[in-house]
Structure 1
Amino acid sequence: MATKKVKVLCDSKSLIEDVHKWGAMKQMGVSLRCMLDFGSVSSQRNMIIAAQFLHRELPIRIARRAIELHSLPYGLSHKPAVLQVRDWYLDSFRDLRSFPEIKNINDEREFTQMIKLIKVRHNNVVPTMALGVQQLKKSLDQKLDYEGLDEIHQFLDRFYMSRIGIRMLIGQHVAIHDPNQPPNCIGYIHAKMSPIQVAKDASEDARSVCFREYGSAPDVNIYGDPSFTFPYVPTHLHMMVFELVKNSLRAVQERFMESDKPTPPICIIVADGEEDVTIKVSDEGGGIARSGLPRIFTYLYSTAHDPVYERLDVGSTGVVTMAGYGYGLPISRLYARYSGGDLQIISMEGYGTDAYLHLSRLGDSQEPLP
């Protein structure tokens, strides 16, 4: 029994040493354009090359996050939920490092099945980390201002940006193997995505949530060229527009719930620029106080009074109570920035809010690697 315990400790020490070794290696970013061009030639050689790249790249990215999860300020690393997330990252690192060198198409197929399981393992990372942060928030001195938690916010930005990249790389590789891909889709990327159509679908989903929560929902009017398309990741755009419209619906619904005035619609405008595709989501939900604007992109702040069901993760089938955790806007901004875009919020207290979602249409910006 004692011998077995010593072996476990040795194995654990060896694993941690390997994690630190790989965490010190340089990451290699890729662009949407590169993923699109490489994935459009579906040859066995390309599949093997892609798998070999992931076999080296994924352990580096996962190791970096595992190291950070071990040394977070304010005792966040010791919260049970965060320890659970760290275990998932260590398990995935171990699986990747245990997989032998990829030499042929059979190795590639086995590797693809393995990383598919890794992606599933990490499905609940967002709500689990949210739980850990909420546990931290409850344990902190209530007088501690949010600016004093900059380290936590910066870590979460790095952590979630890295997670977006990891899931994009895995999801892209796995999806390319799908024989039933929709037309014009190369893995996760749609070569001719209609932002108008995605905005319509996301708005209907958000209105369904609003109906379920309040019994009614404001209209959403969408303006733009329905024939316009550009290469992008539809699931990413859907998530961002869903979040923005859901926030607007909630603000308008709560402001006009007891009013005799007609409920104003949410307006979405899609503009096709040479550099960016910009989507503006406007509402008359009363706006955000100027003092609150600096905090809307932090992870410990939310204007939500009641929990609203929101999508857990791009590609997942479940929903989870997330409004009130303050995660929707900062994570949406990370998705926009991952592909070279951005998200800006301009508000008029007493009237409403405009959200500007900028999407880079060039598709050649490298991943921002934390």
Structure 2
Amino acid sequence: MIKMIKVRHNNVVPMMALGVQQLKKDFKPKTLPTNLDETHQFLDRFYMSRIGIRMLIGQHVALHDPNPPPDCVGYIHTKMSPVEVARHASEDARSICLREYGSAPQIDIYGDPSFTFPYVPSHLHLMVFELVKNSLRAVQERFMDSDRVAPPVRIIVADGIEDVTIKISDEGGGIPRSGLPKIFTYLYSTAKNPLNENLDFESSDAVTMAGYGYGLPISRLYARYFGGDLQIISMEGYGTDAYLHLSRLGDSQEPLP
């Protein structure tokens, strides 16, 4: 029953994003309230408690699995290799980019594949997938009509004492400085609005390349859930670096809203 509850709510994030997009569409561009802090705070609280509930349900169900995967305690993989998870996530993002554009930039991963630490692989997969997807789209759209070969997206995994940091660098042209404060809000996306492409949300693979504007804020919530963080540093005219910090001290409290 608990498992079914979790499955039933799988598509809550895209559904909520759709609702936010429709809300934005209903506002005339001139009357879009400038002070949307309340909406963003509500969505932050809503998504953060959703991450917590899904973590609890997932952990409970996984602990009752008669054949748990090796080195796993429920959802937590005690010997997770961030390089391996990053490789899988970036392959997934690249296949979506290929499907959308017909080609995709290369992805180079730097880091020790044998380095492991305890974390929830599905959380890390989601965060890296979102960040790499953004980078691929930026590079692809910048170099699509150019004669130059698209530069690769670089993923660097650094093993620190307090943090494991994953840096995702692209040369996709960057974000203008005026847009930087908006990138972690739920009403902002640099991509075209997917509402115009009648999507069927009942299908489980409703993954679009971009456009809902929830990839970055949700990824940052996942990072903060275990005491980490996500920072975006951009050079307009060159590219963007995303720094994903994952805490490895194991002493962070659940940041409940």
Q: Distance in 2 between matches of 1:266 and 1:120?
A: 33
**How far 1:305 moved relative to its partner?**
2.8
Q: Distance in 2 between matches of 1:318 and 1:194?
A: 26
Match of 1:273 among 160, 164, 181: 160
Match of 1:262 among 118, 132, 149: 149
Q: Which residue of the partner structure matches residue 355 of structure 1?
A: 242
1:204 counterpart = 2:116:
no
Structure 1: give runs of 5+ residues left out of the alignment: 1-113
Checking the alignment, whether the CA contact within 8 Å between 1:345 and 1:355 is kept in structure 2 is: yes
Q: Which residue of the partner structure matches residue 237 of structure 1?
A: 124
Q: Could you tell which deviates more after superposition, 360-369 or 127-136?
A: 127-136
**How far 1:294 moved relative to its partner?**
0.3
The percent identity for this pair of structures is: 82
1:293 counterpart = 2:197:
no
**How far 1:322 moved relative to its partner?**
6.9
Q: Which residue of the partner structure matches residue 71 of structure 2?
A: 184
Q: Could you tell which deviates more after superposition, 124-133 or 259-268?
A: 124-133
Structure 2: give runs of 5+ residues left out of the alignment: none
SS, match of residue 29 in structure 2: coil
**How far 1:148 moved relative to its partner?**
1.2
Match of 1:143 among 30, 35, 42: 30
1:130 counterpart = 2:17:
yes
SS, match of residue 30 in structure 2: coil
Q: Which residue of the partner structure matches residue 222 of structure 1?
A: 109
1:336 counterpart = 2:223:
yes
Q: Distance in 1 between matches of 2:256 and 2:78?
A: 24
| Match runs of 1:1-370 below 5 Å | 114-144=1-31, 147-305=34-192, 307=194, 318-321=205-208, 323-370=210-257
SS, match of residue 143 in structure 1: helix
Q: Distance in 2 between matches of 1:124 and 1:202?
A: 19
Whose RCO is larger (CA < 8 A, sep 6+)? 2
**How far 1:306 moved relative to its partner?**
6.5
After superposition, the Cα gap between the structure-2 partners of 1:306 and 1:218, relative to the gap in structure 1 and judged at 3 Å, is farther
Query: What is the TM-score normalised by the length of structure 2?
Result: 0.93
Q: Distance in 2 between matches of 1:220 and 1:327?
A: 23
Checking the alignment, whether the CA contact within 8 Å between 1:243 and 1:329 is kept in structure 2 is: yes
SS, match of residue 274 in structure 1: coil
Q: Could you tell which deviates more after superposition, 180-189 or 118-127?
A: 118-127
Q: Distance in 2 between matches of 1:354 and 1:261?
A: 21
Q: Distance in 2 between matches of 1:347 and 1:202?
A: 22
For the aligned residue pairs, the C-alpha RMSD in angstroms reads 1.7
Q: Which residue of the partner structure matches residue 14 of structure 1?
A: none
Alpha-carbon displacement from aligned partner over 1:227-251 (angstroms, at most 9, x marks no partner): 1100000000000000000100000
Query: What is the TM-score normalised by the length of structure 1?
Result: 0.65
Checking the alignment, whether the CA contact within 8 Å between 1:222 and 1:267 is kept in structure 2 is: yes
**How far 1:141 moved relative to its partner?**
3.4
Checking the alignment, whether the CA contact within 8 Å between 1:339 and 1:359 is kept in structure 2 is: yes
Q: Distance in 2 between matches of 1:324 and 1:251?
A: 12
**Which structure: greater helix fraction?**
1
After superposition, the Cα gap between the structure-2 partners of 1:146 and 1:290, relative to the gap in structure 1 and judged at 3 Å, is farther
**How far 1:263 moved relative to its partner?**
1.0
